[in-house]
Each structure stands twice: as C-alpha cells, then as structure tokens.
Chain A
Amino acid sequence: MRITRPRLPAICAYLALSCLFATAWFTNPATPHSSFALMSPVLAVAGQVAQPIYTSRFASSGLVDFVHSSAVTALPDGSLMTVWFAGSREGAADVQVRAARFDAGTGEWGAEQVLATRASTQQGTQRFIRKLGNPVVALAPDNRLWLFYVSVSMGGWAGSAVNVMVSDDFGRNWSTPRQLITSPFLNISTLVRSAPVFHADGSIGLPVYHEFLGKFAEYLYLSADGDVIDKFRISHGNNSLQPTVVPLDGQRGIALLRYAGNTHHRVLATRTEDAGQTWSEPYPLDPSNPNSSLAAVATPEHGLLVALNDLQDGRFKLSLYGTDAQMDDWYSVGDLDKSPDPLGGPFSPEAFKEIMGNEFRGSSGSLRQPLEAQFLSNLDTRVCTARGCEFEYEYPYFIRSPDGMYHLVYSWNNTFIKHVTFNDAWLAERLR
C-alpha cells in the first residue's frame, strides 16, 4: 500500500475545520449554575404584636368567560399583579391571557386588562397559534416583570410551547411575545403552570412539564435575559406534572408534583441539594391528589404551606396544609373553599344558585359585590351540566410578598379568580 502525503489545500482545510471546532469549544464553556436567591420578608417590629389578617376578594371581574389557571406576583409598591386565562371554554380559540392589578391603598383589584391573545402571539412569534393556555407571572430581582404562557400551534396540550413577554415598567408596557426553544422535537410538549424561581445571579428557574410521550417535570434554567441556557429533569415516566418548586436555602429545595398516574393518587415530592440541578426520585406524601394542580410556599419556620385538593377524586374542596421541611408531619390549617356536600355531589340549579349567592357575598370583596345579581343570572349556563351543578376550587398559586403576607389565587368555580391574603399571625391563630 502506498501512503500519500496530504496536499497543502487539504492541510489548510484540516486546519480550518480544527480552528472552527476549537473556537466553538472555547466560546462555549459549561453553563455556570447559581444558588437560589432567597427573599427575606420584612419581619414584625420587636415588641409589636401583629394582628391576624385574612381577607378574600375576586381578582377577575368578567361575568361571561371561563376563567382558569391564575398566577400572582408582588410589585415593589406593595401592589400585586395577577394573570389568568379566560375565554368561552378551556382550549377555545378566543382564550386570552388577562391581568388585573391590586391596589394596596384601596385593597381592591382593578379592571381586567388583556395581555396576550392568539393574534398578538401569532404576530409576535410569527407562527400560527391555535390556542393559549396557562400563564405565570413573576417579578425578577432586577425589577423586570416576566410573563410566561402556553400556546399551541397543532394538536392538544401535548403540542404546547412556552412564550415569554417581559415588562420593564411593572406591567404597563410589554415586549412582543417570543417563543422559548425548550425541546428539539418541533419545540413542542412544554407547559408552565407554577411559580418561577430566581437564582442569585438573576437567572430564572422555570418549572415546566411535558405531556407528549411522557408526563414528567423539568426545571428550565434561563439567563437573566430569558434565554434557555440549561434544563434539568425533576421527574421521569408518565405520572407527574406541574412541579411547584420551593427553595429552602441557597442549595436545598423541594418540588411538589401533581400526580397524574393511576396507582396511589397522592402528592409527589422530590428534593434538590444543588439548587435544582439534580432531583431525588419522587415519592408519595400523605395528602391525596386527584390529578390536580397544587401550590406551596416556604414559611419562616422552614416549613411549607401547601394549597391543594386533598381528595381522591374531584376538585370540590381546596385546603391549606402546613408541614415541616421533611414533610413528615402534616397539619390542616383549614379549608379555603368547599362544596356544602362532603362528597362533592351535584346540586340542582336552584339550590346551587342560592349557595353560590352566599359564597359570592363571602368571597367577592366590596368592589365586586354589585355584580352579584348579574353573576347569578347566567350561572346555570356557565357552570351546570346535565349532571347538575358542581363546585370546583382548583389551580392554586401561592406567593409570599416582601411584606411577609401570603397571597393565594385560584379558580373559583371557573367563574372568578379568587385572591386570599393572610399573614403569619392568622396562621399562628389557626394553629393555636
């Protein structure tokens, strides 16, 4: 065999290719991973006894649409912003992402505002959009307000992608939506539902989940500018969705997961010891989970407060639980809302309307009180089916604002987004 020496052009080509890959190697070091950023809520002044506070009111004000999947964030002036989706039904083409702002001065929610529609998303992303879904909102440590929301171009929710909008002026103006690239397979099968987590360097941890071939959770790691720079599996397989991630300190955190399997119907939990990079094998906890969304926040005593439907089936009762960081001991703080029927059975339209009238007056807040008659007038067509009228309290979203208040928003019979506020003094009183 004769060995031929490579010619000069070939040597140059070898060198050029080597330089190309070497340059790419040098300019793409491993993504650094920052610890969780921990928020320190303002503590009560020593010697001053805080009064228990528990209030509720409706954040949404529309009386026609199906409303669902709310999220809330605290703004620096003490106000809040909540977002949700609303339309003729879940998955309809007319679904919009809407928002409302809570005025800390008046203690009431303002008018609804449309943040994203199918058309605006289509225009921004330059992709055909069939429908919109779950939104989440969060204020970053650099005071940029982030909105992430689901859209679908083809198929059902398994074909979802995540869109992002950002505001530099606390939600007055928003950037045009763009789509995050989260999956190599047609960029589908990624959904958001629970609160983003911020890291010490400003990077964003976005809990997401997949619903295409498997049902599993992931932790997307975004740069402070909202580009996906890494991702980590939280769970595997076909039975866990909608992770709610709670940092305990800079490195340790817990994710609670909606159980989507057919075996034990219990909330799943998994832990991280490296700020979200690796997660332990998910395991079932004491509370039940009827394949429904849940939400959790950390308490000053290093425990968790969890809002969930502690039921084997149905979503007719939304409860608040406390637990320690090990999640061994669970105690009930109370039920936030529940059907008068302990088994969640249906009611006749007449009986339902009467109960809902009372519930409305107890939940709406003073600004929404005048809407009662109009709300009750079309209730049967909005909520009732051939089976009857059933109660549904679901999809909680939990935050603790910098002033130490707890804020919980959830779907109230898919007719309103309800906002519940309480403080540590109220919690202490409940547990006495």
Chain B
Amino acid sequence: MINLWQAHLSFAMLLFLLLPAFGLPRLARIAVLGALLAVSFLPVGGLSLAAHMRSYIDDLALTTLVFMAWGCLRRLNILTPAPKDKTWVMVIFAILALVLYPATLGLSELDPYRFGYSPRPMLIVFGLLTLGLFYLRNWLGVVMLAVATLAFLLNIKPSQNYWDYLVDPLLGLYCCFALLLHALRRIGTRLMTARNNTSRSA
C-alpha cells in the first residue's frame, strides 16, 4: 500500500512542478496541489491515474520524492531558493545515474546494482558524503540522502536494494539534462561576453 501512496504523491508533485504557476497566490497553488492529489485517485480502466503513471516511471526513489517536495515548497514560496545546493545535488545524482544504469543494463561486465543488496560499503560512502554535505551546509543533499537511508532502514519499499532508494531514472535524467543545459548556458554566456569584448576592443 505504501507504494501506492508514493505513486499518488509522485503524481501530484510531478504534475504540480510541470504545470506553470499561472501567477496564482500561495493558497490557490496549495489548492492546485491538493486537487492534483485528488485527481491521482481517479480510476481509468480499473487503475488509478497514479497507478498508470507508476506503470511507466516505476516507484520513484525516496531522494526524488524529497527533491520534488523541495521543489513544491519553493514553488509555494515556503523555502527560499538555494541554487548552489541544487547544483551540487544534481552533480551527485547525475554521476550516480551515469555509473549505475549503463552498467546494470549490460554495457559493462561489472554490475554496480548488485552492491545495493549487501550495501555496507555503499553506506560508508554515502554516510561520509552526507556528513560532507552537512559540513558544506547543503541541506537539500543531506535531507535527500538521510531520508533515503532512513526509508531503506525501515524497508518501506518492496525492494531490498539500497540503490532503489537512492536514485531512479527520472531523477538521473533530470539531473543530467539540467546540468547539460546549465553548462550550455554558461558556455553561451561566456561566448557572448567574449564577442562583446572583442567588438568593443575593435
């Protein structure tokens, strides 16, 4: 049952983040989020809309739920923007996705997904990473990794694999594309600045 609650929360938060804000006041946006949660229960062909979405994107990792919750709170102006937090988090999860998925799907002889079944070495690495992020005051990263580990400890997903709590393809792809876009923007800005400087000196 917890899976379905995850699916309903994922459905509501994902659509809320994808939809434009329409300049609505905070209370109205909270109402939109609640309405989306209600919509996620609508049955279509014997399954709720949330279950349909879950069929294609699978149960999301706990980190993604925290990331989306953080996005929703920002959208509602409850949290202030913290761009540096987000960039480092995206770097971490993009690396995780790039390490995990191609290798697990057969492009490498090593299967890193296996490490998630006996995760003591992984727990040491992610424990140190979480403490490091805490030292750097990257609260978003700390909460994502701590909640994922707590959920793993409480066994709230049907998977016994630590990876399934840490990352999912949606988060991985989002981080990769967002970083790529970020890098392209920066390159574009630098090129523009360089061009402006050249034309000025000419």
Contact = CB atoms under 8 A, between A and B. Distances in A.
Given A24-B153, A184-B113, A184-B161, A127 B126 contact: no
Contact of B127 (A18, A178, A181, A216): A18
A126 B114 contact: no
B169 interface: yes
A210 B107 CA distance: 12
Contacts of A25: 120, 123-124, 127
B118 A128 contact: no
Interface stretch (B20-28, B33-41, B47-55, B182-190): B47-55
A425 interface: no
A214 interface: yes
A127 B4 CA distance: 10
Contacts of A31: 117-118
Contact of B107 (A17, A20, A178, A213): A213
A388 to B, nearest CB: 38
Given A21-B130, A178-B158, A185-B101, A128 B47 contact: yes
B134 A21 contact: no
Chain B: number of interface residues, binned into ranges: 35 or more
B57 interface: yes
Interface stretch (B78-86, B87-95, B144-152): B144-152
A231 B106 CA distance: 14
A129 B158 CA distance: 19
A264 interface: no
Contacts of A215: 106
B118 A212 contact: no
Interface string A4-18: 000000000110011
A123 B48 CA distance: 11
Interface in B151-168: 152-153, 157-164, 167-168
A262 to B, nearest CB: 17
Given A128-B51, A231-B111, A231-B113, A18 B131 contact: yes
A186 interface: yes
B111 A233 contact: yes
Nearest to A178: B158
Interface centre among B58, B149, B150, B163 (most CB of A within 10 A): B58
Interface centre among B116, B123, B130, B157 (most CB of A within 10 A): B123
Nearest to B52: A128
Contacts of A123: 46
A20 B146 contact: yes
B100 interface: yes
Interface string A173-192: 00000110101111101000
B105 interface: yes
Contacts of B157: 181
Contact of A122 (B47, B109, B131, B150): B47
A335 to B, nearest CB: 35
B138 interface: no
Given A17-B131, A228-B161, 15 more contacts: A18-B127, A24-B153, A25-B127, A28-B152, A29-B118, A30-B118, A126-B7, A126-B54, A154-B56, A179-B158, A184-B101, A184-B168, A227-B160, A231-B114, A231-B117
Interface of A: 13-14, 17-18, 20-25, 27-31, 119, 122-123, 126-129, 153-154, 178-179, 181, 183-187, 189, 210, 212-216, 227-233, 236-238
19 contacts: A17-B131, A20-B146, A21-B123, A21-B149, A28-B118, A28-B120, A29-B120, A128-B52, A153-B55, A179-B158, A183-B104, A183-B113, A184-B101, A213-B102, A228-B160, A230-B114, A231-B117, A233-B111, A236-B109
